[in-house]
Amino acid sequence: MRVPSPRRLSLRSRVALLAAGAVILAIVIVAFAADTLLQNELRGQIDQTLISQAKSFAHSPDDRPGDRHDGRLLASMGISVAIVHPDGSVMTPPGTTLRVPVDSADVRAVSAGPGPPDRLRSAYSGDVHVRVVTTRAPDGTVIVLARSLADVDRTVLQLQLGTVIFGLGAVTLAATAGFAVAGAGLRPVRNLTRAAARIARTQDLDPTPIEVTGGGEIAELAHSFNAMLAALNRSRERQRQLVSDAGHELRTPLTSLRTNIDLLIQIQRHPERTLPQGTHDRLLADVKAQLMELTTLVGDLVELAREDETPRLRVPVRFDEIVQHAVERVRLRAPATVFSVNVEPWVVEGAEPELARAVTNLLDNAVKFGPPDGTVWVVLRDGELVVADEGPGIEPGDLPYVFERFYRSAAARAASGSGLGLAIVRNAAEHHAGQVLAENRPGGGALIRLRLPGVPGPGGAPPPEAGSTVPTGPRPRSRGRRPADADQPAQR
């Protein structure tokens, strides 16, 4: 019969064995202590009786058992006596029923002279376990008394048998109770195991949450498992939504692009069906714009997927320097736009590429929806980046949704873009324990706030550029909408 390895035992069985082992150890300790105390107590009483009787014989020679006093009286008390005379002879009185075990040490005590008055030991007289005391009388005679320990041994044996029987019952009860308690306590763990096995088998991340009762570590584990399942389910739903939205957004430019390319192919195959040069040029420009839009959309999708799935290395970075570099890059793409910049040093713990992409998207969005020669205000103070433009602003009904993926307001649908620019900004804010808010500037235009936790950077704030404070009064002048620019990478 093979004994299962301890590693193969279930946790429930291990708890039961541990409980049984603890009870066994406790019973062994208690039984050993009780057995020792009982034997010492019973033997102590016998020793006192033997010592008292031996001293009486040693100091009263006339009362010693001999020819006139046989050993029947002592035998009725359970005591046997042997007398070792100075010449080394051993005399046992008549009527003694139990042979007294006299050893060589008792004989040597005759000629040893004064010494210890009493010598106690345990010995065997045949098959009988006895307690022996040896006393040397003043006249040189050695008195040896013995008494059977059968009653003591019987009492101790009964105690030991009772302890064994009680111990077996206690161990059985402890193992059963441990098994039952472990089963009840580990029920949430079994639920977790079944849930994990079902998820691995069905790939279903939307299970019924595991019922949690009581408290303690097991309940915390169940809560954590439920939270993990919910997070995994949300992640999968985001992936599904991203794929669905991406498919929907890609379908329109791909269809339009395929139609235009088919038309160009037909013209190439039938030279007699020529198009006016202006129409041909507009068709090629449309194809180029659609390719740019498709490229932007794919790039934004890749960026979102990377930010969702791949953790970035977090290091202390100067957010004010990231903002300044982003402003310089956007200035090259929009030379007619005036950038009013006022940034204070601010250090955040984060991923510099992700933050740079978010700030660039905010600036591109402000340039895109502002007038061609308008002003974009960029202010960084106490960890809050404010980007404002002079555009038409955001419709109040669109404000809660501008950071959703692929959401485009009615006013922005005519413009180019993927609808992912501000979604990337929101992802960056969430990844850095911050938040992003959109509102309308009182003087007209959109105003977006990006707040990131951090600490002030070294040095003071650089001198602000002219007009670097975001104005809140009326719009300085009315300006037309900037025409859609196919080369602009970000959008609201």
| Beta pairing partners, 349 | 316
Domain holding 69: CATH number?
3.30.450
* Ramachandran sector of residue 406 (left: φ over 0; alpha: ψ -120 to 50; beta: rest): left
* Residue 55 belongs to some domain of the structure: yes
* 184 within domain boundaries: no
Same domain, 270 and 328: no
Residues whose CB falls within 8 Å of the CB of residue 363, separated by 6 or more in sequence, listed in order: 326, 327, 330, 339, 376, 378, 387
Q: What is the predicted pLDDT for the residue at 480?
A: 35
> Residue 439's domain is classified under what CATH number?
3.30.565.10
In a domain, 233, yes or no: yes
Q: What confidence score (pLDDT) does residue 411 get?
A: 54
Do 224 and 348 lie in a common domain? no
Residue finishing a domain among 256, 277, 310: 310
Nearest alpha-carbon partner for 119 in 74, 87, 84: 84
Considering the domain boundaries, does residue 318 fall inside one? yes
| 197 found inside a domain | no
Does residue 380 sit in the same domain as residue 463? yes
Among residues 9, 144, 169, the alpha carbon closest in space to that of 90 is found at 144
Q: Are residues 283 and 381 located together in one domain of the fold? A: no
**Residue 277 and residue 320 in one domain:** no
Q: Are residues 330 and 434 in the same domain?
A: yes
Task: Let me know whether 477 and 342 are in one domain.
Answer: yes
β-bridge mates for residue 316, sequence order: 349
Residue 330: DSSP 8-state: H
Using the 3D structure, point to which of 259, 293, 310 is the last residue of a domain. 310
Q: Report how many domains make up the chain.
A: 3
Q: Which residue range(s) make up the domain with 228? A: 204-310
User: Which of 293, 310, 327 finishes a domain?
Assistant: 310
- Whether residues 265 and 344 share a domain: the answer is no
Which residue reads 């006016």 in tokens? 276
Q: How far, rounded to the nearest angstrom, does the alpha carbon of residue 488 sit from its chain's CA centroid?
A: 47
Q: How far apart are CA 239 and CA 301, in angstroms?
A: 11
Helix and strand numbers (H, E) in the chain are 10, 13
Give me the tens of pLDDT residue by residue for the chain, a chain 492 residues long. Answer: 454 555 577 777 887 888 888 888 888 898 889 888 988 888 888 888 888 888 888 777 766 766 445 556 666 677 888 888 877 778 877 767 778 888 777 667 655 555 555 788 888 888 888 888 888 887 778 888 888 888 888 888 898 888 889 888 888 888 888 888 777 767 777 777 777 787 778 777 665 666 666 667 777 877 887 788 788 887 777 777 767 666 666 676 777 778 888 877 887 777 777 777 777 777 787 777 777 767 766 776 676 666 555 456 678 999 999 999 999 999 988 889 999 999 999 999 988 888 988 999 899 889 988 888 899 999 999 999 999 999 888 888 888 888 887 666 555 544 555 567 788 888 889 888 999 999 998 888 899 999 999 999 886 545 455 455 666 544 443 333 333 333 333 344
pLDDT at 481: 34
Q: Are residues 317 and 395 in the same domain?
A: yes
Torsion of CA 486, 488, 489, 492, to 10 degrees: -100
* CA nearest neighbour of 479 among 367, 371, 338, 337: 371
Query: How does DSSP classify residue 335?
Result: T
In a domain, residue 168? The reply is yes
Is 179 among the domain residues?
no
Give the per-residue pLDDT at 487.
Answer: 37
Residue 294: name the closest of 343, 270, 261, 268 by CA.
261
The candidate with the shortest Cα–Cα distance to 490, out of 381, 360, 353, is 360
As given in the structure block, the two tokens for residue 22 are 């603890």
Whole-number Å distance between alpha carbons of 406 and 334: 24
- pLDDT on residue 116: 54
Phi, psi of 348 (to 5 degrees): -125, 155
The domain that holds 262 is classified in CATH as 1.10.287
DSSP assigned state of 211: P
Q: Are 148 and 114 within one domain?
A: yes
| Whether residues 304 and 318 fall in one domain | no
299 and 317 belong to one structural domain: no
In a domain, 185, yes or no: no
